[in-house]
């Protein structure tokens, strides 16, 4: 049943993606890395505090004076993320990469001195309007309600610079905490993922906890919407 629904929403959403795909180059324009695979943001010469503050200001327009003021959302239901990164997605109850760091490094053939790194922050549909249209269309095809949406960037740090890893890679498992206001035990949850260029996938929840959603994705950049139906 879930597979049939996923196929149906994929067909409808991809049709919509063809319409808006040309404008998806501005995908996640409000975020710290709006380019495609291989885009980078230098952190050379900056302390960890300065890097985090820069990302906070770019993604939320806010200001922080210390790292202690930055929301740390790198754990879900007691499960800590395996990757270092910037976890700023306050719209969900935490984000955790559950695939081991060494597995990701090996799967994506990282060289000596390179390490996986993730950046997660709140999605702004007013800035990324094309992605929002695709998310809404896909949810409508599924008969689903749209909950929190996050921007997710899985890449690597090499030589003090962050760059995205390719989206055509090995599976990486991610767990998100579903906000209490959106959780509902009698509903089916899924993730609608929109990539730069308009590619859409529906990712099935593979855990049994009604307060979390766990799914398999790949590296790179995307907008990830929690939906229920």
**Are the beta carbons of 77 and 177 closer than 8 angstroms?**
yes
Q: How would residue 198 be classed by pLDDT, with cut points 50, 70 and 90?
A: confident
3-state secondary structure of 134: helix
Asked if the model's pLDDT at residue 139 lies above 50, the reply is: yes
Count structural domains, the chain.
Answer: 1
Global pTM reads 0.77
User: What does residue 130 show for φ and ψ, rounded to 5 degrees?
Assistant: -65, -45
Q: Which strands, in side-by-side order, build the sheet including 172-177?
A: 95-97, 172-177, 212-217
Q: Which domain range does residue 192 map to? A: 2-228
Distance CA 193, CA 10 (A): 11
Distance CA 130, CA 170 (A): 27
Looking at the DSSP assignment, which residues form a beta bridge with residue 190? 204, 227
Mean confidence (pLDDT) of the chain: 79
Distance CA 60, CA 88 (A): 9
Asked if the model's pLDDT at residue 128 lies above 80, the reply is: yes
What is the model's pLDDT at position 8? 46
Distance CA 168, CA 188 (A): 27
Q: Is beta strand 40-42 parallel, antiparallel or unpaired with respect to 161-164?
A: antiparallel
Element (H, E) at 106: helix 101-107
What is the model's pLDDT at position 38? 39
């Amino acid at each position: 049943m879930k597979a049939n629904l996923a196929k149906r929403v994929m067909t409808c959403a991809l049709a919509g993606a063809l319409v808006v795909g040309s404008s998806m180059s501005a995908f996640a324009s409000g975020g710290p890395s709006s380019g495609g695979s291989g885009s980078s943001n230098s952190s050379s010469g900056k302390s960890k505090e300065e890097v985090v503050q820069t990302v906070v200001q770019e993604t939320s327009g806010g200001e922080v004076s210390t790292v202690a003021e930055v929301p740390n959302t790198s754990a879900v239901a007691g499960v800590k993320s395996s990757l270092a990164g910037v976890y700023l997605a306050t719209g969900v109850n935490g984000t955790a990469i559950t695939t081991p760091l060494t597995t990701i490094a090996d799967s994506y053939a990282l060289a000596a001195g390179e390490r996986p790194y993730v950046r997660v922050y709140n999605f702004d549909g007013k800035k990324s309007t094309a992605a929002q249209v695709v998310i809404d269309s896909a949810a409508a095809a599924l008969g689903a309600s749209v909950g929190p949406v996050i921007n997710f960037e899985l890449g690597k740090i090499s030589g003090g610079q962050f760059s995205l890893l390719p989206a055509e890679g090995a599976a990486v498992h991610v767990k998100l905490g579903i906000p209490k206001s959106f959780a509902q035990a009698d509903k089916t949850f899924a993730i609608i993922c929109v990539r730069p260029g308009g590619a859409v996938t529906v990712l099935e929840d593979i855990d049994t906890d009604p307060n979390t959603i766990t799914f398999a994705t790949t590296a790179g950049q995307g907008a990830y919407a929690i939906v229920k139906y």
